[in-house]
Structure 1
Amino acid sequence: MSAKTNFILPIVLLALAPQLALAVGRTELRNICHVKGQEENTLRGLGLVVGLNGTGEAGDLQTMRALSSAMEIMGSPVSTTGRADAESLEELKKIKNAALVYVTATVPAAGSRRGDQLDCFVSAINGKSLKGGRLAFSTLQGPNTQDHRVYALCQGQLVVEDAEQPMVARIHGGCQMQQDVRTEFEKDGYVTLVLDRHHADFNVAQTVGELIQNMYRDNFMQDQVSQDEDLLATLVRVENASNIRVQIPEVYRNDPVTFVAQLMELGVYNVEPEARVVVNPRAKSIVISGDVGIGDVVVTHRNLTIEANPAAIAKFEKIDPDAYSQGGSGSAKLQSLVDAMQDLRVPAGDIIEIIKGIERNGKLHGKLIIE
């Protein structure tokens, strides 16, 4: 039996020299946050799909009741008494061309008005396939379960977009709004900016808060604010890592839309959150921020041994380890580790497992996100 060969790989520190200037990134506020109240809303309800080619659900009580109700609404009840009793439902027991489904539609963040048509998504509760079926009807209610109003009506031909998932389908423009859905963004003279989940961070929130305070100081209340920092803090308040509450200036009280439009166009610098590495085991993808470091660690995986510590780096660079430890960082970059493993043609799946192992050992100096 031949022994496996281990490759020992010292990781070279890829740190920026002190004299190098950091690249400064700039973006607009609208790219990293949204205004509270301007969120998508999901409408949902149950519906009945018909026209299936024998792939529905035969003998299911709930499906038969839905079919009975539909027939009654259209003036052709299965029972002369007007009630779907056991005897009348028996007549529908052999029907295999209908299925009970769960229907959803997403109202855009800007809201929607009566008569607007949206796409709706259909998921079968029973049956074998929705291919070739048609949604006969569905009434959708809002996300608040206590609100029993019908917000939309849905019907139309189903389109199964993935042959491997025949129980899920879409209807293009099949949802017609019956109620207005307005997304109010102003409350008591204030708007709240909400950082997206990838930028929600105390440092980023503080940076955005200071940017808006400077806008106030320079444009709206120069004399008053410049002498009262406490007042400025009440006008623009950083509430937590993701929410910044901003008072609408007096000049814009009757035109908050213009103020918010100007606010969202402000340019902000250095809005990087904490160091992160995002991996997707299924797609075999790895995305690393440049600041993700790794501590002293030795990883053995399959026939590969990986060593990352100041001594190994100093040896590789042929410098004095003592001098290195005094003046160097001592923390290798994860990107250098990944680059080196890719040079050795280590599979992406193995690289992801190694990163996860480093994180479990507490040696990953950044946040690991597994998608």
Structure 2
Amino acid sequence: MLLSNLRNHKNLAVKCLIAIVLLSTTTLSVQAERLKDIADIAGVRDNPLIGYGLVVGLDGTGDQTRQTPFTTQSFRSMLQQLGIQIPEGQSFQLKNVAAVTVHATLPPFAKPGQNIDVTVSSIGNSKSLRGGSLLLSPLKGADGQVYAIAQGELIVGGLGAEGEGGSSITVNIPSAGRIPNGAIVERSIANSFSQGTHLTFNLNRPDFTTARRVAESINELLGSNIANASDATSIHVTAPTDPNQRVSFMSLLENVEVDPGKAPARVVINSRTGTIVVGEHVRVRAGAVTHGGLTVTITNTAAVSQPNAFAGGDTVIVPQTAVSVAETANRMFAFEATTTLDELVRAVNEIGAAPADLMAILEALKQAGALQADLIVI
């Protein structure tokens, strides 16, 4: 059994060498994409970290401790840990201290001693963190364990200034900043990369055509039945069990180029910003469209009601409201059938409709069955 496994691993290693030669001598399609750009390895992912800390050294832009008592509590606790005792009941204003949250992303395979970037954001009423320094802050994962320690000088891209008369100016966001390489990794997170006899690639965009083509491309390089697509997302690949061989194997696979399947025909409408994005395969059947504009205008004017000299009444202001309704007499126009994206864009431009009107027209075309695409409103 052991000799059989060794023989299989040697055969797989030989296939990998042959595949490397093929990759270096084969000219692939310009539209092809590398596997590393369209898929991730199952079990190999980033992990978010979060922590709480204090930023000191601010130029009078720290928290107002009366409104944020947790800043004073944190500062008092820190001094006690450093051996400094503060008399009970004594209050103080910390204009140069701000309570902040610290968050970072721990990448896969990060080892103790390596550095990662951190983002610092104020959680109190600090006006600016510019010029501040983050004190030692532990960063914890979802399991409550400490995985990194953050500390350092903040880089704040925002700027704020305020005058005595109440005038103020703010550029970007001064209450948040970053510390490049501001955290030291203290603990690594295990993953399943070196475990088992298979590796699983998960496509970033599920697609049956892309999954099939990925499996076929890998099998063409390494031999049949090396890769199998289980669904529209996952492709299982037989991999060596030796860690060194598995790294070389992954280096080969992530550079395999695949022509991904094209996305479904979709029209995406952002109703908040008025943005409309039309996909490549969107088609429109011939139809007639008319879109009228109904305008309702309400005008308020103030009139003065003046009583007679001996009536004994009061002078009052009486509002008068006038309502008018106008409808634009738009003619019906023919929407020609389109077979390409260029023809669709040309037809839309000929309408000359505003984005809000175009949203209504596309929705009506979808209801009439003339729009051959999925209509997605976000």
TM-score tier after normalising by the smaller chain length: 0.5 to 0.7
- What is the deviation of 1:136? 2.3
Larger Rg: 1 or 2?
2
1:141-181: CA deviation from partner (whole Å, max 9, x where unpaired): 12x2x242342323322413473323322222222222234
Which residue of the other structure, out of 256, 260, 272, is the alignment partner of 1:266? 256
Task: Please give the residue correspondences for 1:208-227 in structure 2 after superposition, counting only pairs within 5 Å.
Answer: 208-217=214-223
After alignment, is 118-127 or 180-189 more displaced? 180-189
Report what 1:341 is aligned to. 348
Partner secondary structure for residue 207 of structure 1:
helix
Report what 1:156 is aligned to. 153
Partner secondary structure for residue 151 of structure 1:
strand
> 2:254 is aligned with what amino acid?
M
Report what 2:65 is aligned to. 58
1:167-217: CA deviation from partner (whole Å, max 9, x where unpaired): 322222222222234655243111111111xx3212222222233333343
> 1:245 is aligned with what amino acid?
H
State the distance in 2 between where 1:137 and 1:253 align.
Answer: 36
Report what 1:119 is aligned to. 117
Residue 364 (structure 2) pairs with residue 366 (structure 1): no
RMSD (Å) for aligned C-alpha atoms: 3.6
Q: Which runs of 5+ in 2 are unaligned?
A: 1-28, 160-170, 294-327
State the distance in 2 between where 1:39 and 1:27 align.
Answer: 21
State the distance in 2 between where 1:46 and 1:301 align.
Answer: 56
State the distance in 2 between where 1:306 and 1:31 align.
Answer: 47
Report what 1:49 is aligned to. 55
Task: Please give the residue correspondences for 1:183-202 in structure 2 after superposition, counting only pairs within 5 Å.
Answer: 184-196=192-204, 199-202=205-208
Question: Are residues 158 and 272 of structure 1, via their aligned partners in 2, closer, same or farther at CA, if it must alter by over 3 Å?
Answer: same
Question: Are residues 24 and 119 of structure 1, via their aligned partners in 2, closer, same or farther at CA, if it must alter by over 3 Å?
Answer: closer
State the distance in 1 between where 2:54 and 2:139 align.
Answer: 13
Which structure features the higher share of strand residues?
2
1:30-67: CA deviation from partner (whole Å, max 9, x where unpaired): 22112223322221111112233244131223222211
1:226-262: CA deviation from partner (whole Å, max 9, x where unpaired): xxxxxx3xx5332322111111158x77501111121
> 1:248 is aligned with what amino acid?
A
State the distance in 2 between where 1:265 and 1:50 align.
Answer: 47
Report what 1:104 is aligned to. 103
1:100-136: CA deviation from partner (whole Å, max 9, x where unpaired): 2111112334x32223222211121111423323322
State the distance in 2 between where 1:153 and 1:283 align.
Answer: 38
After alignment, is 259-268 or 332-341 more displaced? 332-341
Question: Are residues 360 and 166 of structure 1, via their aligned partners in 2, closer, same or farther at CA, if it must alter by over 3 Å?
Answer: farther
1:302-355: CA deviation from partner (whole Å, max 9, x where unpaired): 5777866xxx53xxxxxxxxxxxxxxxx66556533334346665556656655
Cα contact 2:157–2:172 (8 A) shared by 1: no
Report what 2:283 is aligned to. 293
Partner secondary structure for residue 300 of structure 1:
coil
- What is the deviation of 1:140? 0.3
Report what 1:131 is aligned to. 129
After alignment, is 40-49 or 128-137 more displaced? 128-137
> 2:69 is aligned with what amino acid?
L
State the distance in 2 between where 1:301 and 1:24 align.
Answer: 46
Task: Please give the residue correspondences for 1:69-88 in structure 2 after superposition, counting only pairs within 5 Å.
Answer: 69-79=77-87, 87-88=88-89
Question: Are residues 280 and 306 of structure 1, via their aligned partners in 2, closer, same or farther at CA, if it must alter by over 3 Å?
Answer: farther
Report what 2:230 is aligned to. 239
Cα contact 1:56–1:126 (8 A) shared by 2: yes
Question: Are residues 42 and 268 of structure 1, via their aligned partners in 2, closer, same or farther at CA, if it must alter by over 3 Å?
Answer: same
Q: Scaled by the length of structure 1, what TM-score is found?
A: 0.67
> 1:155 is aligned with what amino acid?
G
Report what 1:12 is aligned to. none
State the distance in 2 between where 1:370 and 1:167 align.
Answer: 33
Which residue of the other structure, out of 36, 39, 61, is the alignment partner of 2:45? 39
Residue 212 (structure 2) pairs with residue 206 (structure 1): yes
Question: Are residues 54 and 147 of structure 1, via their aligned partners in 2, closer, same or farther at CA, if it must alter by over 3 Å?
Answer: closer
State the distance in 2 between where 1:253 and 1:50 align.
Answer: 46
> 1:91 is aligned with what amino acid?
S
Aligned-residue identity in percent:
26
Partner secondary structure for residue 91 of structure 2:
helix
1:245-298: CA deviation from partner (whole Å, max 9, x where unpaired): 111158x77501111121122222353232344566777765543212235663
Residue 162 (structure 2) pairs with residue 171 (structure 1): no
